[in-house]
Amino acid sequence: MTRISDNLQAVRSAIASACRSAGRNPESLRLLAVSKRFGVTDILEAVAAGQRDFGENYVQEALGKIAQLPREPLRWHFIGPMQSNKTRDIAEHFDWVQSVDRLKIAQRLSQQRPPHLPALNVCIQVNISGESSKSGCRPEQALELCHAVASLPQLRLRGLMAIPAPAATPVGNQAAFRGLHALAGAIRQADLRGNVRFDTLSMGMSDDYASAIAAGSTMVRVGTAIFGARNSAVMP
């Protein structure tokens, strides 16, 4: 087994343990391997170990990898902040976008999604900790944005995503995670119309995913615990 394969096995075991502790079925949790700053060789090692979902933050870096790797059965998630001039590339090459935080960006993604592709799965990013330096809509804006996004023809609204403020301990973000879970529950009760499959709560990373799972996460985004320390340069 490779180092990445060993790491993946350890992360999956830890996720299963966290799910059992929370009284949940491990099958209810999806693992997203955050591959930013790692190269094609690293991703292929993860693919060989059974990983299928990969998250990227930088469009140009991601496009180079996507072009070199088999399109199926991999699923590519864009999880970084978006600029308007990058939406076409994202709409054309990704399966998921987890960082939609304003209607203008959602409209561009819908308009630029090629009609022969399935609807683009999107999550609304919520600035659950209220950080001025972080992307995401305010919690009180999330329902209105969900209504608007659900009406766009080439998008499928899947749920919410958040990156809480850094915490001193792995359980330090428990309140933020619970807040996002409660917000998702309230939105599920709303009369959302359109292309909606509101089944995703993307929260939790390498340092705190067990806490996020306890709070109801359905997708954790793990990079360092799988691939190791990140390279400072963009990898080909």
What confidence score (pLDDT) does residue 218 get? 98
Q: Tokens representing 155?
A: 């998008």
Query: In sequence order, which residues have a C-beta less than 8 Å from that of residue 176 and are 6 or more positions away?
Result: 128, 129, 162, 164, 165
What is the share, in percent, of the chain residues with pLDDT greater than 70? 96
What confidence score (pLDDT) does residue 6 get? 97
User: Is a pLDDT exceeding 90 seen at residue 129?
Assistant: no
Residues 54-78 pLDDT 10s: 999 999 999 999 999 998 899 999 9
Average pLDDT over residues 2-6: 94
Q: Tokens representing 46?
A: 């993860």
User: Is a pLDDT exceeding 60 seen at residue 20?
Assistant: yes
Average pLDDT over residues 97-111: 98
Pairwise CA distance, residues 217 & 160, whole Å: 10
- pTM value is 0.95
What confidence score (pLDDT) does residue 1 get? 61
Helices marked H in 22-134: 40-48, 59-68, 87-93, 103-112
Query: In sequence order, which residues have a C-beta less than 8 Å from that of residue 110 and are 6 or more positions away?
Result: 91, 120, 152, 153, 154, 155
Residues 80-92 pLDDT 10s: 999 999 999 999 9
Pairwise CA distance, residues 20 & 11, whole Å: 14
Residues 192-206 pLDDT 10s: 999 999 999 999 999
**Using 50, 70 and 90 to split pLDDT, how confident is the model at 232?**
low
Q: Tokens representing 167?
A: 């915490």
